[in-house]
Amino acid sequence: MPNPESQGVQVPACFTDTHGVVISTMNDLPNYKIKKVLGTIYGITVRTRNWGADIGAVFRSAIGGEIRFFTNLMYSAREEAMERLVGECMSRGGNAIVAVRFDVASYGVCSQICAYGTACQVEAVEE
């Protein structure tokens, strides 16, 4: 399959600055020892789309295919939720988040994106 970027298509990217916080969807971190569990943390954002995008989406749904505006909206909402998750970890004195998950819910024209995980203090182990 050809690379979309080589064909001039803008692909959303993930660039959350983690400020050195190690983030993992696993329950542990290879090469790290969990020294202290700081508890469950959340990063939540609620977004809504504009009416112009809704009209465009109706036309797009008639022919099928990706609705890039909504894709970009979801990418930016996920990044904002992750930034808030990292901020909460740091505010508790953590340097790692394990068992990271995402939850998405829709309320009418609003979408809620919630990133959650367990904040920890970890240290690298010698091999």
pLDDT of 51 reads 55
pLDDT of 114 reads 96
Q: Which fold has domain 17-49+78-124?
A: Translation Initiation Factor IF3 (3.30.110)
pLDDT of 5 reads 46
Axis crossing angle, helix 51-63 with helix 68-91, rounded to the nearest 10: 130
pLDDT in tens, 60-100: 566 777 777 777 888 888 999 999 999 999 999 999 999 99
- Domain segments of the chain as ranges: 17-49+78-124
pTM of the model: 0.77
Contact 84, 43 (CB under 8 A): yes
pLDDT of 118 reads 98
Higher-confidence position of 26 and 52: 26
User: Where on the phi/psi map is residue 79: left (φ > 0), alpha (ψ -120 to 50), or beta?
Assistant: alpha
